Structure 1
């Protein structure tokens, strides 16, 4: 028995529970024949639908006829450099160029290509521009280009970037320039022992120490301590590398030439770092506590000062109270417990 419900149709075997294979074949033939009988309207409907769309071959021809001008990053940087050096280029235009370059040089290949294009020297020259906005942006480009990019780090070192950046951090009239210069200096010296040695030789530690006497350099002081702590940890990690690997041994030789810890102690950093314990910011306190722990062996006598002990005592009481508040929430965040453990670690070492 045949049945039909709108566009749906089928057959029901009224005599048995199922169709045999031959019965199914016959049914399919009948359905096909029925559809062929009504194909005139169906074919017209199909034609109307097809007329609304282009065929694959038509689309292929159209795409081949189209001329799409796609520029590579290198070509874009070339145009930017031309715009920067064009005679009569305004300060706004040069600032725009540097901003665009900063976006591109985050990619390692682009940063290296910038050297080949001569753009890296342009950035170095821009560091000394009379316009403070351009100086700041040039430092930002430099920091982005050298980050985790050994080839560009070497180029920056050979171009004299280290003493220039140190000078800006210490004495530039613009706070924005000083911040960007410290950022560039940080990315340049990280994981680059030769640049770290140059930083020490050029008075980098004295420069950063001067920030502690500047009432307007709170953020810079924190960033300076963070940088020095990271460099100390970097040296410790290299010291703990397995001696079985020749590459590890070469790294150790390079870092042995960088007397960071010794020069920090001589420059008075054992007294300077604890002064930041009174910061109201927990993140800053964490960085300071970690730096104090890393420096503990050569600095423990300086940590015995009454002022430092008072700061640690205040922090212990504050974090003990915050830990009690932290526990009932059961949020899985034991941040204040971590800070309390850092305070206790220093106190334990002192006892």
Structure 2
């Protein structure tokens, strides 16, 4: 029995020695490639022209013979002069050894700490932003108070810039209906705009204030009522009659139009007195440029069309009786006629038509106004050789243009000339 045990021990020991010897031989012997992937032992040489890869699951190098379909596309073993570069690429793709892992953990922890610090800084910055954040309402109240403080001290050049900046910010904010009403409720009309429009001698300030006024009154019925009650309409009409500054006239027209549009009571009160006179006065003024006069005829045309559309719509809809009564009482066209609107437009077109040739958008504004008020002024305009000459000259010039917009305006003028002068075939001057 002991002999058998001893014999078995000798056989096992021999087998183990053979296994170790075989493994050692494989590590030092040349790699024998097949069509299957085989692990490349540490330090084992491999022949050229094999397909070599790193097994991403085990982290070991493997190689096999190239298939025909892989030639030219697979990663192959390189010649000896490129072995160093290839080995470097393989090393770069190898998984990190165990002794590198603590460094990775430390680096990760460091980055996490940095991210936490950045996040804390973001929270702090956000809290500072919240402290400085202001709603539109808070900004409006702040700007009103700021302007009140300005008015308590003598006007300096630096304060002029600050005042203009304040008004510019208000013009932007007051386009919104709620913001405009908040401005009015906090005394903005009385403490900011009214003193500038009525008493201030600075033209830039008056221009900015009237732009703010136009901004808050546009399409805002409640604001229109407040502006009307403060008698801004009369002050604006006075500026239109007395000013020779193009910017001031433009701003006043903007505010005046914002107050009057879709507000028949204001139209009745203002246009029956100084309002219509002021508009015609701008048309007659030699100091006002054509673009300013075009804004006047556009406003007049809009107000005439507004009344007509309301009266026409009332035939098919149940309009409020009070609104209808206010428009019925409006006699804007007779007021225009009595103030000399028809000859004023005739004079502008006859005198300045050469300047209109290069301003087709202004020509279109005048053409629209001529169409709108044609019935009112046809007796004057149909007999005006100067107006006829101006319209035909502009029409002929635009009709020979290649510009589509000019061609459209020429078409409008042709129809207008046909109605006014009843000579549709006349093309020669």
Task: Provide closer, same or farther for how the CA distance between residues 73 and 51 of structure 1 changes in structure 2, counting only shifts above 3 A.
Answer: same
> Aligned pair count?
322
Task: Provide closer, same or farther for how the CA distance between residues 85 and 55 of structure 1 changes in structure 2, counting only shifts above 3 A.
Answer: closer
Instruction: Tell me the CA shift for residue 249 of structure 1.
Output: 6.2
Contact 2:272 2:332 in 1 (8 A): no
Question: TM-score normalised to the size of structure 2?
Answer: 0.65
Contact 1:274 1:288 in 2 (8 A): no
| Superposition pairs of residues 147-158 of structure 1, within 5 angstroms | 147-158=218-229
Which of 324, 345, 349 pairs up with 2:415? 345
SS at match of 1:203: helix
Which residue number in structure 2 is paired with residue 165 of structure 1?
A: 236
Work out the CA distance in 2 between the residues paired with 1:45 and 1:285. 74
SS at match of 2:116: coil
Larger Rg: 2
Task: Provide closer, same or farther for how the CA distance between residues 7 and 316 of structure 1 changes in structure 2, counting only shifts above 3 A.
Answer: farther
Work out the CA distance in 2 between the residues paired with 1:6 and 1:76. 65
Work out the CA distance in 1 between the residues paired with 2:233 and 2:326. 18
Task: Provide closer, same or farther for how the CA distance between residues 234 and 57 of structure 1 changes in structure 2, counting only shifts above 3 A.
Answer: same
SS at match of 1:151: helix
Contact 2:304 2:332 in 1 (8 A): yes
SS at match of 1:184: helix
Instruction: Tell me the CA shift for residue 116 of structure 1.
Output: 1.0
Work out the CA distance in 2 between the residues paired with 1:201 and 1:101. 32
Task: Provide closer, same or farther for how the CA distance between residues 48 and 255 of structure 1 changes in structure 2, counting only shifts above 3 A.
Answer: same
Q: Over aligned residues, Cα RMSD in angstroms?
A: 3.4
Work out the CA distance in 1 between the residues paired with 2:123 and 2:168. 40
- Which structure has more relative contact order (CA 8 Å, sep 6+)? It is 1
> Is it true that 1:68 corresponds to 2:131 in the alignment?
yes
Contact 2:211 2:254 in 1 (8 A): yes
Task: Provide closer, same or farther for how the CA distance between residues 56 and 260 of structure 1 changes in structure 2, counting only shifts above 3 A.
Answer: same
Deviations along 1:296-317, one digit per CA (max 9) or x if unpaired, are 2232222212222222221232
> Is it true that 1:201 corresponds to 2:272 in the alignment?
yes
Deviations along 1:29-76, one digit per CA (max 9) or x if unpaired, are xxxxx99x9977765564454343129996897578756232222222
Instruction: Tell me the CA shift for residue 247 of structure 1.
Output: 4.2
Deviations along 1:187-242, one digit per CA (max 9) or x if unpaired, are 11112222211221222222222223322112432221111112122223223326
Work out the CA distance in 2 between the residues paired with 1:199 and 1:72. 37
| Superposition pairs of residues 311-322 of structure 1, within 5 angstroms | 311-322=390-401
Which residue number in structure 2 is paired with residue 212 of structure 1?
A: 283
Which residue number in structure 1 is paired with residue 375 of structure 2?
A: 297
Which residue number in structure 1 is paired with residue 346 of structure 2?
A: 274
Work out the CA distance in 2 between the residues paired with 1:7 and 1:186. 80
Question: TM-score normalised to the size of structure 1?
Answer: 0.78
Contact 1:83 1:89 in 2 (8 A): no
Contact 1:289 1:342 in 2 (8 A): yes
Which residue number in structure 1 is paired with residue 46 of structure 2?
A: none
Work out the CA distance in 2 between the residues paired with 1:174 and 1:133. 10
**Gaps (5+ residues) in structure 1?**
11-33, 327-333
Which of 173, 179, 184 pairs up with 1:110? 179
SS at match of 1:246: coil
Task: Provide closer, same or farther for how the CA distance between residues 6 and 139 of structure 1 changes in structure 2, counting only shifts above 3 A.
Answer: farther
Contact 1:243 1:249 in 2 (8 A): no
Task: Provide closer, same or farther for how the CA distance between residues 90 and 252 of structure 1 changes in structure 2, counting only shifts above 3 A.
Answer: same
| Superposition pairs of residues 211-230 of structure 1, within 5 angstroms | 211-218=282-289, 219-230=291-302
Task: Provide closer, same or farther for how the CA distance between residues 340 and 56 of structure 1 changes in structure 2, counting only shifts above 3 A.
Answer: same
**Gaps (5+ residues) in structure 2?**
1-36, 40-51, 59-94, 423-429
Work out the CA distance in 1 between the residues paired with 2:371 and 2:132. 57
Deviations along 1:159-209, one digit per CA (max 9) or x if unpaired, are 001110000111036443333222211111112222211221222222222
Which of 90, 107, 116 pairs up with 1:54? 116
Task: Provide closer, same or farther for how the CA distance between residues 53 and 261 of structure 1 changes in structure 2, counting only shifts above 3 A.
Answer: same
Contact 2:304 2:333 in 1 (8 A): yes
Contact 1:163 1:202 in 2 (8 A): no
Task: Provide closer, same or farther for how the CA distance between residues 271 and 5 of structure 1 changes in structure 2, counting only shifts above 3 A.
Answer: farther
Deviations along 1:125-156, one digit per CA (max 9) or x if unpaired, are 22121333322222122111111111111101
Which of 137, 155, 158 pairs up with 1:90? 155
Work out the CA distance in 1 between the residues paired with 2:379 and 2:55. 92
Which residue number in structure 2 is paired with residue 233 of structure 1?
A: 305
Work out the CA distance in 1 between the residues paired with 2:334 and 2:56. 88
